[in-house]
Chains A and B, each alone.
Chain A
Amino acid sequence: MSEIRLKIDGKEVTVEAGKTILDAARKAGIDIPTVCHHEKLESFGGCRLCTVEAESGGRTNLVAACIYPAANDLVVWTRSPQIDKIRKVLTEQLLAYAPESEVLKAIAEDYHADKDRFPKEPSFCILCGLCVRYCAEVKKKNVVGFLDRGPCREINFIPELAAVECWDCKECFPLCPTSALQAAFVLTEALISLSPSLQKIDTRAKTASA
């Protein structure tokens, strides 16, 4: 039972047990768009752009390919009018938060997504968790984490740890799919909160811009 055979877009694919649909598709050379996926990291299933149709036991479900385990006799379709529409709307929503993201713009082009469909709310963070997971899983430093929940959710560097750990690392910066500087911005904010003299400059800048 170590080998699993499934069908993706009509193609027979064989993968080891424990792999996901996304792994199987990539192995077969079938492209599924992803934003929150990274080979070195545990799957997160946050962006849902990898949504595919998985058919088993006569039922078709929409599942996130990056977290759905490949199973025998599974029939997967990675493109259909319904999936294309889901990816289009998701991309449009993500673009409202990160209008300048190159990754998202490329996906938008593939799926004819209108980048101006939703009013802009540029937080420049789509909460993909790449920086959070990279810091926890690869670097094992746990400097950056999530804060709050729902619409208030954001990423946050722990100032005391950041002051020690981040200076020589900054490996999370290039991971960011929205704009490489978002993690840098949040990190700077965290470091400013540590230093009273910088705080003065920060408030002055804020009052000047207001």
Chain B
Amino acid sequence: MDTTNISAIIDKYNGEASALIQILLDIQNDLHWLPREALELVSERLGVPMSRIQHTATFYKAFSLVPKGRHEINVCVGTACHVRGANRVLEVVQNITGIQPGETDADLKFSLETVNCLGCCALGPVMEIDEQHLGKLAPAMAADLLKGYQ
């Protein structure tokens, strides 16, 4: 594994132990997951024990210890989106990507998660792909949108 990127991230925060979460977030953004080798390097450079890093990395949902796809899809199934038909949107997304919530497809293109609110209920049903909010969805629209991702 190429660790130069990870080293650069750690350098950016001067190897400070208090920046652990920020460093893990940057690695997560860069690689879409936290590989073991990366965590070992972080542990060594920051002087933070592995058990503590493991605790932090499993505590926050933003971190993943398994590889995630290039595009992360979050379909909102909160109350407002639910009554506006989030389930039908979710069904279409599942059919097109071929994965269930919590899964990643084999060629690492998409990861799918359901979330309980994205904070813009007026736009429901909402889904989020790569931090871009897509609102007022209809199932067919969601299908079209997904085709635009490589």
Contact = CB atoms under 8 A, between A and B. Distances in A.
Interface stretch (B46-54, B67-75, B141-149): B46-54
Interface in A123-174: 132, 135-136, 142-149, 156, 158, 161
Interface residues of B, number: 8
Nearest to B59: A149
Interface of A: 132, 135-136, 142-149, 156, 158, 161
Contact of B55 (A135, A143, A145): A145
12 contacts: A132-B51, A136-B51, A142-B49, A142-B52, A143-B51, A144-B51, A145-B55, A147-B55, A148-B58, A149-B59, A156-B51, A158-B54
B38 to A, nearest CB: 16
Contacts of A147: 54-55, 58
Could you tell me the dominant secondary structure of chain A's interface residues? mixed
Contacts of A145: 49-52, 54-55
Interface of B: 49-52, 54-55, 58-59
Contacts of B52: 142, 145
B118 to A, nearest CB: 21
A161 B40 CA distance: 12
B58 A142 contact: no
Nearest to B48: A142
Nearest to A161: B50
B58 A158 contact: no
Contacts of A148: 58-59
Contacts of B59: 148-149
A132 B50 CA distance: 13
A146 B49 contact: no
B78 to A, nearest CB: 19
A149 B54 CA distance: 12
The 8 closest A-B pairs by CB, nearest first: A145-B51, A142-B49, A142-B51, A146-B55, A148-B58, A149-B59, A147-B58, A145-B55
B54 A156 contact: yes
Contacts of B55: 145-147
A161 B52 CA distance: 13
A161 B51 CA distance: 10
Contacts of A142: 49-52
